[in-house]
Amino acid sequence: MNYQPVVIIGSGLAGYAVARELRKLNTEIQVIMLSADHGGFYSKPMLSNALATGKTPASILTSDAALMSSQLKITIRPFTRVNTIDQSGNSILLENGENLSYSHLVLALGADPIRLLLSGGAVEEVLSVNDLDDYRRFREALKDKKEIAILGAGLIGCEFANDLAISGYQVHVIDISAHPLGRLLPEEGGRYLQDKLAAVGIRFHLKSKIQYIERIGSRYRLIFEEGQIIEADLVLSAVGLRPRTQLAEKAGLYVNHGVVTNRYLQTENTNIFALGDCAEVEGKVLPFVMPISHAARALAATVIGTPTPVHYPPMPVFVKTPACPIVVSPPDPIVIGEWQIDANQDGVKALFQDMAGNLHGFALLGAATKEKNAITPQLPPILA
């Protein structure tokens, strides 16, 4: 019998999903959650539509660490960073020098915002938002500001742009791609989205690359590689995330784009698991909420003693751009096929089919989003 605790590193949606699933299956097992941040529970997706929905950083926090600890009957240690994993000793070393043993270790470490390599004296002042503390800083910085430049026209960039624009800010969005949501939408969908976002006042600078950011008084000057110049009161970077793999890599665990796991969410060390934004499960890095729920359920069952592989059904993602409702289920990049597009002024229905006509993904915009429930069951599972 192993009396060491299950240790979860990370108090994001992934860490808490595992803690909840463990408690559903077993009320006795000792669980310790360690978090580099405040350790409270909040829904991260709310950050990119909080202005329009009237939420503040304080109201986004659902429960603080103390409340979560008493609800879930687990020990939560906020502001406790893990520095090293000792695989052979089944223990971890904390930043404060303390050693902690585990029976099972769960890595729910999240991801770091990618920073563009830019020059200029104000590069360090560019903000990014990937957690509640970032968002608090962002909201503080927004006070008395009018014009915001967003680097990146991906999902997070478009959501923040829409939220800011409908809340009265002037918004610029800069991206090297030819249309917004370039990785999720076919061209027709991107153009439709761009038109809808432009209609709420968002100004796009596409096929453009920022090179230099400097401060001019209380404002920023952004200089493009192509020579164009814009000014803004605040610059927000939303150019993507990189899974936090350093801790696993330092411990000698296999890392590719994320911390590599099998279908059981196990790394090559069968007592060390990973899920959420830091993980690469069977070759897939899926930085969204739905995969976390499925992974947490399987992981908890395995830890309790019933080895359970994760199954991912189709998991469409809603893009929170109220100016242009969107739901997407991107095809697996290894599938060869093409988009079938049905576009009109009310929306775009794009279906990605392989050469045999089988459906592998979709992008539905505007009125076409209504078809999501009818189309989703026709998709293959993401992990059968």
The contact set with ligand FAD (CB under 6 A) reads 9-15, 34-37, 44-45, 47-48, 81-82, 108-110, 129-131, 156, 244, 247, 276-277, 287-290, 317, 320
Min CB(31)–ligand FAD separation in Å: 15
> Quick one: how far is CA 353 from the chain centroid?
27
Of the candidates 246, 257, 274, the one whose C-alpha atom is nearest the C-alpha of residue 83 is 246
Q: What tokens does 173 get?
A: 């969005």
Tell me whether residue 79 or residue 378 sits nearer to ligand FAD (CB atom): 79
Tell me whether residue 60 or residue 375 sits nearer to ligand FAD (CB atom): 60
Min CB(219)–ligand FAD separation in Å: 25
Tell me whether residue 317 or residue 367 sits nearer to ligand FAD (CB atom): 317
Min CB(259)–ligand FAD separation in Å: 11
- How far apart are alpha carbons 6 and 103 in whole angstroms? 6
Tell me whether residue 10 or residue 366 sits nearer to ligand FAD (CB atom): 10
- Helix axes 187-199 and 155-165, enclosed angle (nearest 10): 20
Min CB(187)–ligand FAD separation in Å: 23
For residue 16, give the H/E element and its range.
Answer: helix 13-25
- How far apart are alpha carbons 266 and 262 in whole angstroms? 6
Tell me whether residue 306 or residue 373 sits nearer to ligand FAD (CB atom): 373
Tell me whether residue 259 or residue 375 sits nearer to ligand FAD (CB atom): 259
Min CB(379)–ligand FAD separation in Å: 16
Residue 311, CB half-sphere, CA atoms under 13 Å: how many? 5
Min CB(249)–ligand FAD separation in Å: 12
- How far apart are alpha carbons 179 and 189 in whole angstroms? 9
**H-assigned helices in 110-251:** 132-142, 155-165, 187-199, 246-250
